[in-house]
Structure formats: C-alpha cells, structure tokens
Amino acid sequence: MDNSVALITGANTGIGKEIARQLAAEGLTVYVGSRDAGRGRAAVEEIGGDARLLQLDVTDAASIAAAAREIAVLDILVNNAGISLEAKAPDQQDVDEFRRVYETNVFGVVAVTNAFLPALRRSAHPRIVNMSSSTGSLAVAAEQGSSAFAAYRSSKTALNMLTVLYANALAADGVLVNAVAPGLRRTGLNARAAEAGGDPAEGAAGAVRLALLPDDGPSGQFFSWDGTRVPW
C-alpha cells in the first residue's frame, strides 16, 4: 500500500486518530481530517509518518468542497466523524437533537463521500469504510430492548443502509464499501465511552483491516472490530 492515500474524517482525536496512526505506520499518505486546524496540526505531529492536515468540517459544504480540491487521487476514505448526545429515548429527545446528530453522522457522510468520489474513482483500489456501531443494529436493538441514545443509534442504522446502497452503486467502479462497529472505546464520544471504553487502537484495527482489503474482499457488509459479522 506504499504511495496509497487515505483520508480519515474526525481524525484529530479518538479512534479516528488511531486509524490515521495505524495507516501511516503502514506507509500510507494519511490526510487527517479535522474541523479545528490547531487540533489537527497537533494530531499530525503526534501521528508522524506521512500524515498531513486537511481542514474539514463534514457539516459545511464550502469546507468539504475546498478539502476535495486538495486531493486528486484517493485510495481510502474512512467516514469516522460522528457525534452522540445524551442517552435519551426517542420520546425524550428533541427533534433538533436528532437533526444535529444526523447532520454529522448521516448527511455529513453523504456529502463527504460524494465530494470525494471523483478522487476515489481515480484509484486502482478504492475503499470506503463507514464507522458504525453495533448499537445501530436492528437485530441487536430488538433483542436488548433498550431505547437509550435514540438519535445516535438510529443515525448509525441509517449509515448501515447507506453502506449497502453505496456498495451497490459503486460496485462497477471497483469500490469496496463496508461498515465497522469498533466497540465501546475510551473516547470523547459521550460520558459512557469516556468512562467505560476500551483501547481505541483495538477498535481502529477493524477499520484498518477493511481499508486494506484485497480486491476480492467483501463489500456492502457490516463487521465488528474483530472481523466477525454484525447482524443488520
């Protein structure tokens, strides 16, 4: 994968930064997508290798367009940027909170993916990895019976569907598109993750595995960080 180029959104912290670190260690040129330039520069210095800052706000059309102009050929896109609000059930969560979460977790993925598709289509081995969550699985939700984190979990369910639809739409272009559930990790996503989460590097490894798939690898699938399949 030497000379390959990757972009990870929301990569100045947490799992995104660890994905960038692991890909840079593999010899890739890695664009560290960061809404805040200062935090992005700090992350680039920490990651090392051929890591580069790409200022990118996935909720801002002008920012996305400017970022897309910076990369002519893109081999790997990891849609990692995401937010989660309070652990509310749908009957307790305001519709504006749903809009805020979906703006980043769903609409941001569509906007970024579509903007970088020309660059991905110029790659000989294009890959898209969407950072999802097992909590977005309909099967898991029905089994557990929990109603918490309604906006976040439903946004990941929508992301799973987008994964399948993009995989179908881009199959003729050779783009492999998959979703990964990294597990609960020690990040700033929410209070539960910060307190009870595991090692971000372990969750990131699942995304890196999908980013480096061979050409005959799967597409339109949902995997856990350890490589096992997650039910839709």
What are residue 33's DSSP bridge partners? 54
Say whether 122 sits in a helix, a strand or coil: coil
Q: Which amino acid is at 229?
A: R
Contact 77, 110 (CB under 8 A): no
Given a contact cutoff of 8 angstroms between Cβ atoms, the answer to whether 208 and 166 are in contact is no
CA angle 111, 81, 78 (to 5 degrees): 75
Residue 207: partners with Cβ closer than 8 Å, 6 or more residues away: 15, 19, 78, 80, 129, 131, 180, 182, 225
Say whether 166 is catalytic: no
Q: Indicate the SS3 state at residue 185.
A: strand
- Count Cα atoms within 13 angstroms, Cβ side, for 183: 19
The DSSP H or E segment spanning 164 is helix 150-170
Query: 113 with 56: CB under 8 angstroms?
Result: no
Residue with tokens 């890909």: 23
- Catalytic residue among 31, 102, 152, 166, which? 152
- Report d(CA 94, CA 79) in Å as an integer: 26
**Enzyme catalytic residues:** 152
